[in-house]
Amino acid sequence: MGTAAVSIIGFDSAWTDSPKAPGALCTIRIDGAGRRTLVQPALVSFDQALATIAAETAPLRIVALDQPTLVPNATGMRPVDRVAASLISWLGGGVQPANRAKIGMFDDAAPIWRFKERLAAIEDPEASRVASDGLYLMEVFPALALPSLEPGFDGRLRGPRYNPARRKTFALASWRAVIASVRRQAIEAGIAELADWADALDRVETPRKADQDRIDAVLCALIGLHWLVRPRDASIMIGDLGTGYMVAPASPSVRARLEAAARVCAVPVDLGRRPTGA
């Protein structure tokens, strides 16, 4: 990365761009001296997200988006979704299939395609790790990242239930555990504003879905930061740039489980990875 300034933008898009249920976006900035600061998460539409991204002045900008960015399949699941689902279901959750039949999400008129066209970013995660300038886009998935970011979530049926909109499954203990994980990541990364933000959110007595969206935007940015600054072995890229992919942190146990599922599904892992040291 050198000394180039970077803006890592985490965007939880909410997929359909509904005014009643906007997404959320936040930014982790790294200046030329390596100092890291947070632009706090805010609720945004796709258009507002584009404006925020365009306003970032760092020579290198990486958008970590919590939404499928490549969906060539007409029905069913993408190959990468099957691999992700193997881990997420083991943790007790689920993966929403991405296909072109989902009107409003991935049909030809879906907002994600207009967003991508206007963003005009380079979609090459491996290249973003070694770039000093440019605008890059990559797909991420907070639920896939959490068991690597927080070992307490890495176990059968131990995935956090932290969506307040799902009243039957929401668990306040899970909510607080996710916040605690964000706080720890913030402290380890030296982002004081993020630790303070997590402390403030932890004091919210009745979390709302919008609060979870903000957390997911933060998690997206943390995934992007992890991808950029940590050793390459600490992350994984499942899938490819043709059928779809995801980038995520990968602890040794999570990597082993994902690689095993990828072999069964004949899905590539770390395709296009640069040589060690890059």
Domain extent listing, the chain = 6-265
Report the pLDDT value the prediction gives residue 17, as an integer from 0 to 100: 83
Report the pLDDT value the prediction gives residue 104, as an integer from 0 to 100: 94
With b meaning 16 or more CB within 10 Å and e meaning fewer, what string describes 123-162? bebbebbebeeebbbbbbbbbbbbbbbbeebbeeebbbbb
- By DSSP bridging, strand 23-30 and strand 36-44 are antiparallel
Report the pLDDT value the prediction gives residue 1, as an integer from 0 to 100: 40
Q: Which of 95, 81, 91 is nearest to 154 (CA)?
A: 91
Ramachandran assignment for 207, one of left (phi > 0), alpha (psi -120 to 50 degrees), beta (any other): beta
* Dist CA 191 CA 189 (whole Å): 6
253 is written with which tokens?
A: 């146990």
Q: What is the mean pLDDT of each run of 10 residues along the chain (278 residues)?
A: 80 89 96 96 97 97 98 97 97 95 96 97 97 97 97 96 94 97 98 97 95 98 98 97 98 98 97 67
E strand intervals along the chain: 6-12, 23-30, 36-44, 60-65, 134-139, 235-240, 244-249
Report the pLDDT value the prediction gives residue 263, as an integer from 0 to 100: 98
Report the pLDDT value the prediction gives residue 2, as an integer from 0 to 100: 45
* Dist CA 196 CA 10 (whole Å): 18
CB atoms within 10 A of CB 268: 17
Report the pLDDT value the prediction gives residue 55, as an integer from 0 to 100: 98
Report the pLDDT value the prediction gives residue 164, as an integer from 0 to 100: 96
* Dist CA 54 CA 40 (whole Å): 17
Ramachandran assignment for 191, one of left (phi > 0), alpha (psi -120 to 50 degrees), beta (any other): beta
